[in-house]
Amino acid sequence: MALMLTRRCNMRCGHCSVESGPDVRGEPTEAELFDRVRQAAASGVRAINLTGGEPMLRPWTALRLVRAARRLGVAPSRCAIVEDSPLGVDAANAAGMVAFGFARVTPPAVLSHARGGIFSSMAELPALLED
Ligand code: SF4
């Protein structure tokens, strides 16, 4: 299941498929996100993809969601996150999540610690998530 923490992003990419950017307003509350995680776990979902925008603009929310998911039977290692910043990959690794490094603009070398792999086109992501 994909869970969008926010559509805000520190970048403003012309190719963005979800029209993210620094000026986007409005995002789900933490209570709403926790409710989605509870519903997903109750429905048998065993993997959650935290996405955005830039999900690490809400780092503490992301960490609390991972903890909540773990309590509900979704292991942190089954929580995936797509990242294009080295610091975001660091945060994902620290939380025990699997980061997938999006190297369309970011040089691949600075995302080399993304455990899920590195990709440069969103068309490549579904195959990586299936591994
Ligand atoms: S970094 Fe990603 S989410 Fe942010 S604007 Fe660019 S494509 Fe969209």
pLDDT at 26 over 90: yes
What one-character-per-residue DSSP string does 15-57 give?
Answer: T-TT--BTT------HHHHHHHHHHHHHTT---EEEESS-GGG
Residue 29: pLDDT band (50, 70, 90) is very high
Q: Containing domain of residue 32, as a range?
A: 2-130
| CATH number of the domain bearing residue 86 | 3.40.50
**Run of H or E including 129:** helix 125-130
Q: What is the mean pLDDT of residues 85-95?
A: 89
Q: Which of 13, 17, 87 to mutate to test the pocket of ligand 1 (most atoms within 8 A of CB)?
A: 13
Structural domains of the chain, count: 1
Is 0.85 topped by the overall pTM?
no
Query: Measured in angstroms, how far is the CA atom of residue 9 from the centroid of ligand 1?
Result: 6
Ligand 1 pocket by C-beta < 6 Å: which residues?
A: 9, 11-13, 16, 20-21, 52-54, 84
Closest CA to 83 of 118, 36, 58, 48: 118
Length of the chain: 131
pLDDT at 24 > cutoff 80: yes
Lookup: tokens for 118: 């590195």
Tokens of 124: 């490549």
